[in-house]
């Protein structure tokens, strides 16, 4: 993968980490659907967060970089609140920077005035973001770099220029009371072009427009050598009901919307008058002015648009592009913070260098279980370690004793840790995995062509071919859809193959004999070892605790028999007995 040179909150600058995308079924198998559903009410945010977590890399620097940022954000709830408010304020700049050229011309100059107000708000937002990130509790490389970036942006000459430009250009539409137009004419006194002379905060005074025009052209000394307006022309309101004559004539001509020219006797008078629609003249004048100004001020509109685009491209786009990444940490922090207030334990994961031990998980539990429990004090934490002699765990135990829950929990630890989040455990040290594979029972409709066993074999072969010594493989009742003899034969060979690659594996199964063979399988291996792991029972009751021990044998069959009432005592001693 090419080296990342752009600033990001998800990876350090210069990182050349390689990523793999975990398929959707892995998230589902590990019970993380509930986590993503709870993380945000916004579908776009959920998709982004899911994508970040499902893009997995075994580069420990990425995990540490993310985790430090997450720690800062988790510890500063006021920062989370303020930053979300600021993100809402700069959202419009992303939208504005993508507007097409025609949009500026259609919306008009007055719209740009309003956008200048919003741009001024952006300046204040950058200032607030800089102040927010100046919190002394912030120490992560990512947020410190972001603070430095925003500070440099704020102190940059371009930003200072923008502040100066906004102070000059910013004008509220309500301040505009009149505009002064310049009209170029040809030798027949026909209007050939128009331009803006000034935008004014005061209206023109009332006077006779026809008489003033006549005075202006009656003598040579009234013709101006330049186009500069000296203020002695006067304005006649277009909606005056007291004025008649030429105004009435123009209204009878169906209410012209543009400057008119003709060879008729009234041509010169008509060429100086712009009329609004005959009905609702006052309201229509705004419509007219917006259209005329747009047509006549193309260069000015373009200049303003180009100016704003310059600022958007150099600053706004860069800052707003980080918003989804920041939201990733904020939403995850809000959810985990809520679970911590509920009583759940979370801790910072610590990456290990490759060596004898590749995972130390102490006091860990299933996140989905915690999210669904009212009283989290009832959760039973567990300890588990991956190392050379315990690379493949064959997990057996009573039905509904927690085997799948434990299997999911181990996968959750790696996914959350490598996503930079705190993990549901008292302590978690790990060598990051390059990919996580799950082999859980498939839906019935996916096994129609091959049969369930055939489908399981094909899936396992594909997973095995892709896995490495840095992968994590979680098997749930794999090869249990056929007879015990057939399933056991395939499962035993599969475990032997996994040991040759030293793939970290938890094999959750009801084939107790496979667990009994763990020691023999280890002796046949060249280095990696298998171990029997059981869900303990205490006085016949499920403890939901795991332990290294030989399988308990008949516990599963006994549970099934009791569940469906087919023990000897239940059959012959119950109401349905003989």
Residue 5's SS3 state is coil
pLDDT at 51: 96
Enter the tokens of residue 419: 């996503």
Q: Is residue 338 part of a domain?
A: no
Task: Name the least confident of 182-191, 436-445, 446-455, 519-528.
Answer: 446-455
Q: Which is higher by pLDDT, 337 or 484?
A: 337
DSSP at 402: S
Do 325 and 353 belong to one domain? Answer: no
pLDDT at 207: 53
Task: Name the least confident of 391-405, 475-489, 493-507.
Answer: 475-489
Enter the tokens of residue 514: 């496979």
pLDDT at 342: 94
Instruction: With cut-offs at 50, 70 and 90, classify the pLDDT of residue 244.
Output: very low
As a whole number of angstroms, the distance between CA 146 and CA 262 comes to: 65
Please answer whether residues 551 and 532 qualify as being in contact, where contact means their C-beta atoms are separated by less than 8 angstroms. Answer: yes
pLDDT digits over 46-67, tens only?
A: 999 999 999 999 999 999 999 9
Instruction: With cut-offs at 50, 70 and 90, classify the pLDDT of residue 153.
Output: confident
Q: Is residue 1 part of a domain?
A: no
Q: What is the mean pLDDT of the segment spanning 256-261?
A: 34
pLDDT at 309: 59
Q: Does residue 531 carry a pLDDT above 80?
A: yes
CA angle 140, 146, 148 (to 5 degrees): 100
Q: Which of 387, 383, 439, 441 is nearest to 413 (CA)?
A: 383
Enter the tokens of residue 10: 């998800």
Do 193 and 139 belong to one domain? Answer: no
Domain, as residue range, for 449: 346-573
Q: Three-class SS string for 101-148? A: HHHHHHHHHHHHHHHHHHHHHHHHHHHHHHHHCCCCCCCCHHHHHHHH
Q: Which is higher by pLDDT, 452 or 444?
A: 452
Backbone phi, psi, residue 271, to 5°: -70, -10
pLDDT at 194: 67
- Which H/E stretch holds residue 219? none
pLDDT at 254: 33
Do 407 and 487 belong to one domain? Answer: yes
Q: Does residue 282 carry a pLDDT above 80?
A: no
CA 157 to each of CA 72, 90, 162, 318, 469: distance values in angstroms, whole numbers, following the listed order: 31, 21, 9, 17, 52
Other Cβ atoms less than 10 A from the Cβ of 31: the count is 21
pLDDT digits over 159-202, tens only?
A: 677 677 666 665 554 566 777 777 788 887 777 776 667 767 77
Q: What is the mean pLDDT of the segment spanning 483-491?
A: 86
Q: What is the mean pLDDT of the segment spanning 335-364?
A: 93
Q: Does residue 503 carry a pLDDT above 70?
A: yes
Do 292 and 415 belong to one domain? Answer: no
Do 200 and 153 belong to one domain? Answer: no
Q: What is the mean pLDDT of the segment spanning 501-516?
A: 94
Residue identified by tokens 């204040």 is 124
Domain count, the chain: 3
Q: Is residue 47 part of a domain?
A: yes
Do 254 and 357 belong to one domain? Answer: no
Q: Which is higher by pLDDT, 281 or 315?
A: 315
Do 112 and 30 belong to one domain? Answer: yes
Q: Which is higher by pLDDT, 478 or 216?
A: 478
Q: Does residue 237 carry a pLDDT above 50?
A: no
DSSP of 472-489, one letter per residue? EEEEESTT-SS-HHHHHH
CA 328 to mean position of chain CA atoms? 6
Q: Which is higher by pLDDT, 476 or 268?
A: 476
As a whole number of angstroms, the distance between CA 382 and CA 28 comes to: 22
pTM of the predicted model over 0.75: no
- Which H/E stretch holds residue 544? strand 541-548
Tell me the residue length of the chain.
578
Q: Is residue 234 part of a domain?
A: yes
Q: What is the mean pLDDT of the segment spanning 337-363?
A: 93
Q: Does residue 83 carry a pLDDT above 60?
A: yes
Do 323 and 457 belong to one domain? Answer: no
As a whole number of angstroms, the distance between CA 124 and CA 447 comes to: 59
What integer best gives the mean pLDDT of the chain? Answer: 77
pLDDT at 566: 77
Q: Is residue 508 part of a domain?
A: yes
Q: Is residue 5 part of a domain?
A: no
| Residue 439 belongs to domain with CATH number | 3.40.50.300
Q: Does residue 44 carry a pLDDT above 70?
A: yes
Do 184 and 240 belong to one domain? Answer: yes
Do 529 and 425 belong to one domain? Answer: yes
As a whole number of angstroms, the distance between CA 504 and CA 393 comes to: 8
Q: Is residue 255 part of a domain?
A: yes
- Which H/E stretch holds residue 384? strand 382-387
pLDDT at 297: 47
Do 205 and 137 belong to one domain? Answer: no
Please answer whether residues 508 and 476 qualify as being in contact, where contact means their C-beta atoms are separated by less than 8 angstroms. Answer: yes
Please answer whether residues 336 and 422 qualify as being in contact, where contact means their C-beta atoms are separated by less than 8 angstroms. Answer: yes
Please answer whether residues 13 and 5 qualify as being in contact, where contact means their C-beta atoms are separated by less than 8 angstroms. Answer: yes
What are the residues whose beta carbons fall under 8 Å from the beta carbon of 14, sequence distance 6 or more? 3, 4, 5
Q: What stretches of 6-69 adopt beta strand conformation (E)?
A: 20-21, 55-56
Q: Which of 480, 484, 528 is nearest to 508 (CA)?
A: 480
Q: Is residue 334 part of a domain?
A: no
Do 396 and 488 belong to one domain? Answer: yes
């Amino acid at each position: 993968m090419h080296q990342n040179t752009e600033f990001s909150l998800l990876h350090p600058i210069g990182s050349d980490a390689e990523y793999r995308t975990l398929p959707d079924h892995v998230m589902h198998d590990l019970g993380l659907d509930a986590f993503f559903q709870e993380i945000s009410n916004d579908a776009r945010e959920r998709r982004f967060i899911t994508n970040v977590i499902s893009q997995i890399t075994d580069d420990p620097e990425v995990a540490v970089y993310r985790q430090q940022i997450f720690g800062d954000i988790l510890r500063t709830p006021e920062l989370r609140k303020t930053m979300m408010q600021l993100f809402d304020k700069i959202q419009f700049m992303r939208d504005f920077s993508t507007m097409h050229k025609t949009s500026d011309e259609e919306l008009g100059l007055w719209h740009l005035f309003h956008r200048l107000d919003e741009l001024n708000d952006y300046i204040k937002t950058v200032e607030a973001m800089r102040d927010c990130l100046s919190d002394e509790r912030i120490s992560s490389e990512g947020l410190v770099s972001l603070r430095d970036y925003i500070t440099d942006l704020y102190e940059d000459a371009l930003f200072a220029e923008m502040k100066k430009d906004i102070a000059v250009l910013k004008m509220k539409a309500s301040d505009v009371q009149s505009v002064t137009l310049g009209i170029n004419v040809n030798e027949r006194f026909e209007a050939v072009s128009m331009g803006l002379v000034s935008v004014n905060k005061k209206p023109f005074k009332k006077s006779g427009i026809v008489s003033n025009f006549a005075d202006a052209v009656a003598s040579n000394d009234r013709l101006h050598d330049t186009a500069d307006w000296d203020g002695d022309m006067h304005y006649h309101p277009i909606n005056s009901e007291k004025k008649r004559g030429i105004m009435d004539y123009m209204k009878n001509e169906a209410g012209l919307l543009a400057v008119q020219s003709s060879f008729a006797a009234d041509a010169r008078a008509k060429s100086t008058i712009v009329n609004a629609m005959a009905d609702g003249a006052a309201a229509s004048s705004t419509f007219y002015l917006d259209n005329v100004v747009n047509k006549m001020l193309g260069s000015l509109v373009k200049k303003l648009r180009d100016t704003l685009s310059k600022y958007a491209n150099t600053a706004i786009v860069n800052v707003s592009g980080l918003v989804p990444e920041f939201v990733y940490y904020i939403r995850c922090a809000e959810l985990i913070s809520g679970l911590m207030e509920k009583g759940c334990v979370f801790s910072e994961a610590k990456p290990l260098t490759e060596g004898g031990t590749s995972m130390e998980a102490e006091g860990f539990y299933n996140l989905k279980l915690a999210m669904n429990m009212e009283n989290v004090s009832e959760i039973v934490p567990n300890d588990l370690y991956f190392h050379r002699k315990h690379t493949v765990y064959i997990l057996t135990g009573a039905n509904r004793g927690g085997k799948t829950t434990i299997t999911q929990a181990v996968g959750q630890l790696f996914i959350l840790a490598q996503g930079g989040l705190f993990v549901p455990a008292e302590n978690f040290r790990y060598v990051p995995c390059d990919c996580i594979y799950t082999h859980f029972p498939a839906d019935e409709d996916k096994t129609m062509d091959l049969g369930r066993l055939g489908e399981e074999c094909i899936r396992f072969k594909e997973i095995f071919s892709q896995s490495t010594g840095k992968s994590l493989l979680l098997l749930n009742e794999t090869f249990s859809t056929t007879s015990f003899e057939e399933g056991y034969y395939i499962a035993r060979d599969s475990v032997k193959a996994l040991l040759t690659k030293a793939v970290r594996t938890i094999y959750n199964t009801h084939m107790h004999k496979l667990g009994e063979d763990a020691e023999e399988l280890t002796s046949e291996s060249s280095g990696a070892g298998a171990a029997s792991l059981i869900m303990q029972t205490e006085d016949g009751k499920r403890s939901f605790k795991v332990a290294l021990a030989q399988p308990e044998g008949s516990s599963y069959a006994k549970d099934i028999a009791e569940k469906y009432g087919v023990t000897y005592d239940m059959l012959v001693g119950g109401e349905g007995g003989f």
